[in-house]
Structure 1
Amino acid sequence: MGVDRRRRGQGGAVRASGARATAVLGVCGVLLAGCASIPDSGDVQPVKASPPGESQVRVYAVPPREKAEPDEIVNGFLEAMTSDDPDFAMARKYLTKDASDFWQPGAGAVVLRAAPDPAGPKEASGRASAGLTYPLYGDQIADMDSSHAYKPIEPTAYGGDIHLVQQTIGGTKEWRIDSLPQGLVLGESDFQRNYRSVNKYYFASGENWLVADPVYIRQRIDPTSRMDPVTQAVRVLLDGPTNWLKPVVDSPFPRGTALQKGVTSLEFDDRNALKVPLNGKAAKAGRAQCRKMAAQLLFTLRDLSATPVGQVELLADGSSLCVLRGDQAEEFAPDRPTGRPVTPYFVDEHGRLSLLQTGGDEATVDRTQVIGPFGTGAVKLGAVAVARDEKHAAGVTDDFRSLHVASILSEGELGDPLVTSGGKGKEGALSAPSWDGRGDLWIADRDPAKPRLLRFADGAGPARPVTVEGLDGARVKALRVSADGVRIALLLTKGGRTTLQIGRVERHGPKDDPKVTVTELQSVAPQMETVTAVSWAGPSRLVVVGKEAGGVQQVRYIQTDGSTSAAGVLPGLNQVTAIAAADDDRQPLIADSDDAGIVRLPTGANWQTMVESGSSPVYPG
């Protein structure tokens, strides 16, 4: 049965291992009109629910028993939807032929907080034929559409229903489902057990670097296409970007490119290299174009391989098009690393921009002021951002009214401010700045009389206002721009609540002076009542500080599509006011805590104090 199901009748999920699995499944076939959950290892034990993200649990559907009651038909079908059964063949046995023809499991998924809870039955009304209607209850928290894009929503009452009629099967009247919601309806833990998040990659429009586009594919063999996860990932990449990202990215694959017909499995060889057979449309690509196509595949497949992908070879109708090694693909990386060690920075107790470096002894922290006016104390800083090439930094004065840019590699005088806010106070003037991967500097002026989002091309004046569509009366409190420059994370304040939204950055007009707009804001953490701080933590992941209604402050990872997992919750830390993460996930998180000072979170450890006083911890970006 589905590991998130709440049984209305008898039965339950079963865990089994080895040779015992077959026997247990046979018993379940006798006892249940549903399915059994069988892992690859472990003792036999009855369960009512699997822990969230329990990917080792396997669900095997069984057909309805003869003369099954309506309750059993409904529960059995809901449970069979959570299986990996080829084309959901067993689930379809609960449906009439017309309903089976209508039902398309690949049309998407409705994700509920817990498994759908059927209530009823109630007599059908307004129907030509007699039957029973079972309303399905639950709190919907997300949708996944047919392009595999995930979208969270604020918990909303779900309102689907299932209708049953009686039909004659083998001379016996049996209950079957003749009307049902399109696609899948799954509890959150069943969704996480069946699906996994992967990033597919496309090129920023007109640029030479890649942008992550997160989607969900099946953890194991896709019941509909029978493709393994690697092949699924290649297919969704070839299908093109998700609708939200499409206006700001390009794909060099020639139109109509697809996997060679009949390909359902792709395997890495002993050198972790992969050959990808494509149809004849791919043969139109030239060598430079093919290298970019291969780079898209290399980055997409990284999430699916425990070891670095050695190389990808593209084939068109059996002939080799090009080969690209993993190291060669780095020229297209979204964060385009400088090759230098990544170092965090912070503002010390004297308002100077300083580095945070640890020596061989991790208990020793080297606090070194940067070269130039930001390190000498020529201006006292309140918030900072270091350019991704680590040659310049942007600093907001400690009264949060003026923004300066200065070198951090050479001495020099502090120039005039790029902008001065008419607002007052830490919350009513300038926000902390942020650099994108193009070298542009972004900042929000939070002056209540003149709120605006500003961009400085190449980190220099004049200020270029950026229109943010869909604010609906909200004001920008804080921002972080992605390394690829086509997405921006915004903390928006309205009615005493601060929410996290992701916006798409669109550029139109001349390349040297485009009109820039932030559009199609999407809620990323609708379950959080308020969000305090955010930082990019990789190509499609954010680290977020916030709290749910009635809850305590927490630090957690959230994908840019808003999806989360239990593994994303990080060790607790009180009174966090700022958070910083590097594009390289091997680097520790850095945070500012009113209780503990500037702290870091090394892999597999708890938060550790680095310096007891200071503010504005940042990595380049």
Structure 2
Amino acid sequence: MDADREGRGRRVPGRTVVYAACGVVLLAGCASMPDSGDLRGVDSTARQDTPVRVFAMPPQEDAEPTDIVQGFLEALTSDDPNYETARKYLTTSAAKQWQPGLSTTVLDDGPGADVVPPVDREQSDDKSFTLVGTKVAVVDAQQSYAPASGEYRETVHLVHDKKTKQWRIDSPPRGVVMGRSDFQRNYVSVNKYYFASNTRAATAPQTVAVADPVYVRERVDPMTQLVRSLLKGPTSWLDPVVRTSFPTGTALRSGVSSLAPDDRSTLTVPLNTKAENAGMDQCKAMAAQLLFTLQDLTPAVDEVELQAGGRQLCSAAESDANGDATRGSVENPEFLYFVNGEHRLVRVAAEPDGSGAKAQPVPVPGALGEGDKDLRSVAVSRDEHTAAGVGLDGRALYVGSLVSGGSLGEPVLVSSGKTTGDRLTTPSWDTEGDLWVADRNPADPRLLLFKEGAGKPLEVETPGLDGRIRDLRVAADGVRIALVVEKGGKQSLFIGRIEREGKTGDPQSVSVRELRSTTPDLEEVTTMSWAGDSRLVVVGREQGGVQQTRYVQVDGSTPEGPPPAVLTGVKEIAASEDADMPLVAYSEDGIVRLPSGAQWQKVDADGTAPVYPG
């Protein structure tokens, strides 16, 4: 179960290949290719269970054009840091101009190649091949992953050098291309961290850290790659809502080619002169960003030390970083909440006590637990002081404090939808104490925000939204929101960026922008929940398939590790951003949860609508 729930927290030591002893596999580049017709011989290398370094062989003397193309494609899947072997398959000019870092195109299988017949049958000193395949994803120059689809077609042109008498590629494909299994072997998803730029100091006294997932090459000094990526700044999608503590232009000091921790698990990071005037508070924030980022890659770093201008700027250990900023993945909820058989809000301890005794749910203090209002769904604020509940018919939204004797009052929102399914969604609280809910009324569909859970709702702009919101969850970082959107009978999961306009603490308008699909292969999304800083757990079904529960990254990729243990008939699911908290579901057996290292356990046979704070 530890592997199931680990996600993108600290990486398993056995997978930290940067410090592991590695074997070596050589890619010979000698598979034959036909002179005409369709080629399917560039097969992906099988994924290795152990950290094996893969290196390519340079082109053989007098190699045929087919072998040159084959060798080049195989060299793209090797662990050659700068693709020097791949460049040996190119002409001198092409080797200088080719930029492998522009993109990595991932295909369903390794690229095949069609021979392009020459225009002049007598021409013998040039050859062309068309690389073909089905696109799965593209990793861009910022190392950001995005799902892709459709046909991949790129032409590779070769010439026969008159001086060397050797065939070489003078027109290579754009960037790098490889099959899915080679991509999984070569690359690893890691979170780099920035700080939310739109939080209110009054309700969020700590800076909020936001995960920005990128893919780095797993066996090519990933630590140094990740630090360079962090210093370059956030990816374009996240950039409008986060900030970095590093001064503009900060980079590793000239001549620094590799970083590694010492025997005290301290990583020294020498920076250029752009950082030398950073004050102590700024330096501490820089160190926190680095430590959060590096600990997502490896457990081998306990402390970072920053240097610039020939002197130490500051250092920070894990306790220092967690004191300077907060992350959802380390915030521990006190309780798990759900609606009991009497339709009241109840709670149990978030973590089982280890005794094996069945948890005994108790009503929450206040009107939502002790009153007479029947509830259908609930949300509890992240400080666990306030709760919101939707009435049993889905029409009215109530907000009340979790204090004994508190009254509920009138609903803060009433939907005019004609049926339960056309009324209010389950609400969600963000890190600033604001409450989000969607009205599914087809005549007036709206996404609404109640500042601090009260007052007149602010209608949230949703440019680019194509469909009707069926469900929503705001991330712990407060700058991302997950939306289940329905159109034409199909439900899809999207991640949107939350932007606030106006002065800090009193935004005049709020919008959700640049919605990104995270489950393009699902035609039905039953339920979902955040399950980490950049991960969600989703219950859904592919076309013609059966219901399945899986983890997905916010960028649409699939995280490492197995899916959650199988559970049938899941109607609702709840997870905490803290991966140590049990996964919880409402299924055919009522409320059940999955403690670490155990099987699904029944919590309440009659309960529904489980939630952690948020």
Distance in 1 (CA, whole Å) between partners of 2:268 and 2:22 is: 38
- Choose from 607, 610, 614 the match for 2:600: 607
Aligned to 2:97: 102
Match of 1:168, SS? coil
Q: 1:30 to 1:425 in 2, by over 3 A?
A: closer
Match of 1:427, SS? helix
Match of 1:87, SS? coil
Match of 1:389, SS? coil
Distance in 1 (CA, whole Å) between partners of 2:51 and 2:435 is: 46
Match of 1:489, SS? strand
1:67-106, aligned counterparts within 5 Å? 67-106=62-101
Distance in 2 (CA, whole Å) between partners of 1:119 and 1:412 is: 73
Distance in 2 (CA, whole Å) between partners of 1:67 and 1:498 is: 55
Q: 1:529 to 1:129 in 2, by over 3 A?
A: farther
The one-letter code sitting in structure 2 at the alignment partner of 1:314 is L
Shift of 1:121: 4.5
Kindly indicate whether residue 130 of structure 2 is the aligned counterpart of residue 135 of structure 1: yes
Contact (CA 8 Å) 1:113, 1:138: kept in 2 or not?
yes
Q: 1:518 to 1:434 in 2, by over 3 A?
A: same
Aligned to 1:15: none
Aligned to 1:16: none
Contact (CA 8 Å) 1:124, 1:133: kept in 2 or not?
no
CA RMSD in angstroms, aligned pairs only: 2.7
Kindly indicate whether residue 453 of structure 2 is the aligned counterpart of residue 459 of structure 1: yes
Which stretches of structure 1, 4 residues or longer, exceed 4 Å deviation after superposition?
A: 19-22, 28-34, 47-55, 124-130, 336-341
- Choose from 230, 234, 241 the match for 2:223: 230
Aligned to 1:345: 337
Shift of 1:318: 2.1
Q: 1:161 to 1:124 in 2, by over 3 A?
A: farther
User: Cα deviations across residues 245-275 of structure 1 (Å, max 9, x unaligned)?
Assistant: 1111111211111111111222223332222
- Choose from 610, 616, 620 the match for 2:613: 620
Match of 1:517, SS? strand
Q: Which moved more, 1:433-442 or 1:419-428?
A: 419-428
1:552-563, aligned counterparts within 5 Å? 552-563=546-557
Distance in 2 (CA, whole Å) between partners of 1:290 and 1:566 is: 33
User: Cα deviations across residues 363-420 of structure 1 (Å, max 9, x unaligned)?
Assistant: 5122111111111242111000111000111100110111111112332111111100
Distance in 2 (CA, whole Å) between partners of 1:267 and 1:351 is: 55
Contact (CA 8 Å) 1:202, 1:296: kept in 2 or not?
yes
Q: 1:456 to 1:29 in 2, by over 3 A?
A: closer
Kindly indicate whether residue 478 of structure 2 is the aligned counterpart of residue 485 of structure 1: yes
Aligned to 1:39: none
Contact (CA 8 Å) 1:434, 1:481: kept in 2 or not?
yes
Q: Which 5+ residue runs of structure 2 have no aligned equivalent? A: 1-20, 34-41, 200-206
Match of 2:503, SS? coil
Contact (CA 8 Å) 1:124, 1:132: kept in 2 or not?
no
Aligned to 2:202: none
Distance in 1 (CA, whole Å) between partners of 2:419 and 2:161 is: 72
Aligned to 2:11: none
Shift of 1:422: 0.3
Kindly indicate whether residue 109 of structure 2 is the aligned counterpart of residue 114 of structure 1: yes
1:569-580, aligned counterparts within 5 Å? 569-580=563-574
Shift of 1:149: 0.8
1:451-530, aligned counterparts within 5 Å? 451-472=445-466, 474-514=467-507, 515-530=509-524
Contact (CA 8 Å) 1:33, 1:65: kept in 2 or not?
no
Q: 1:317 to 1:429 in 2, by over 3 A?
A: same
Aligned to 1:255: 248
Q: Which 5+ residue runs of structure 1 have no aligned equivalent? A: 1-18, 35-46, 222-227
Distance in 1 (CA, whole Å) between partners of 2:30 and 2:105 is: 29
The one-letter code sitting in structure 2 at the alignment partner of 1:218 is R
User: Cα deviations across residues 408-462 of structure 1 (Å, max 9, x unaligned)?
Assistant: 2332111111100001333210000001111110000001111000001111121
Aligned to 2:425: 431
The one-letter code sitting in structure 2 at the alignment partner of 1:214 is P
Distance in 2 (CA, whole Å) between partners of 1:30 and 1:181 is: 18
Distance in 1 (CA, whole Å) between partners of 2:122 and 2:429 is: 60
The one-letter code sitting in structure 2 at the alignment partner of 1:141 is V
Contact (CA 8 Å) 2:43, 2:110: kept in 1 or not?
no
User: Cα deviations across residues 327-355 of structure 1 (Å, max 9, x unaligned)?
Assistant: 12113444469976532111111101111
The one-letter code sitting in structure 2 at the alignment partner of 1:393 is A
Distance in 2 (CA, whole Å) between partners of 1:592 and 1:244 is: 34
Contact (CA 8 Å) 2:399, 2:412: kept in 1 or not?
yes
Q: 1:433 to 1:55 in 2, by over 3 A?
A: farther
Contact (CA 8 Å) 1:588, 1:601: kept in 2 or not?
yes
- Choose from 274, 285, 290 the match for 1:281: 274
Shift of 1:609: 2.5
Task: Count matched residues.
Answer: 577
Contact (CA 8 Å) 1:528, 1:547: kept in 2 or not?
yes
Distance in 2 (CA, whole Å) between partners of 1:57 and 1:425 is: 58
Contact (CA 8 Å) 2:158, 2:167: kept in 1 or not?
yes
Kindly indicate whether residue 218 of structure 2 is the aligned counterpart of residue 219 of structure 1: yes
Distance in 2 (CA, whole Å) between partners of 1:435 and 1:559 is: 21
Q: 1:52 to 1:562 in 2, by over 3 A?
A: farther
Kindly indicate whether residue 536 of structure 2 is the aligned counterpart of residue 548 of structure 1: no
- Choose from 136, 141, 147 the match for 1:146: 141
Shift of 1:103: 1.3
Contact (CA 8 Å) 2:190, 2:216: kept in 1 or not?
yes
Q: 1:333 to 1:127 in 2, by over 3 A?
A: farther
Contact (CA 8 Å) 1:33, 1:68: kept in 2 or not?
no
Contact (CA 8 Å) 1:356, 1:368: kept in 2 or not?
yes
Match of 1:161, SS? strand
Aligned to 1:311: 303
Aligned to 2:196: 204
Shift of 1:31: 6.0
Match of 2:368, SS? helix
Aligned to 2:531: 537
Aligned to 2:389: 395
Q: 1:30 to 1:359 in 2, by over 3 A?
A: closer
Q: 1:235 to 1:318 in 2, by over 3 A?
A: same
Shift of 1:53: 6.9
Q: Which moved more, 1:54-63 or 1:584-593?
A: 54-63
Kindly indicate whether residue 285 of structure 2 is the aligned counterpart of residue 292 of structure 1: yes
The one-letter code sitting in structure 2 at the alignment partner of 1:343 is F
Q: 1:53 to 1:613 in 2, by over 3 A?
A: farther
Contact (CA 8 Å) 1:33, 1:62: kept in 2 or not?
no
Contact (CA 8 Å) 1:334, 1:483: kept in 2 or not?
no
Q: 1:152 to 1:435 in 2, by over 3 A?
A: same
Contact (CA 8 Å) 2:328, 2:532: kept in 1 or not?
no
Shift of 1:142: 0.9
Shift of 1:57: 3.4
User: Cα deviations across residues 567-605 of structure 1 (Å, max 9, x unaligned)?
Assistant: 252222222121111121011110111x22212122344
Contact (CA 8 Å) 1:55, 1:193: kept in 2 or not?
no
Contact (CA 8 Å) 1:202, 1:241: kept in 2 or not?
yes
Match of 1:468, SS? coil
Q: Which moved more, 1:335-344 or 1:492-501?
A: 335-344
Q: 1:59 to 1:127 in 2, by over 3 A?
A: farther
The one-letter code sitting in structure 1 at the alignment partner of 2:457 is A
Shift of 1:317: 2.0
Distance in 1 (CA, whole Å) between partners of 2:516 and 2:329 is: 28
Q: 1:86 to 1:386 in 2, by over 3 A?
A: closer
Aligned to 1:40: none
Aligned to 2:39: none
Shift of 1:164: 2.1
Q: TM-score, normalised by structure 2?
A: 0.88
Q: 1:124 to 1:600 in 2, by over 3 A?
A: farther
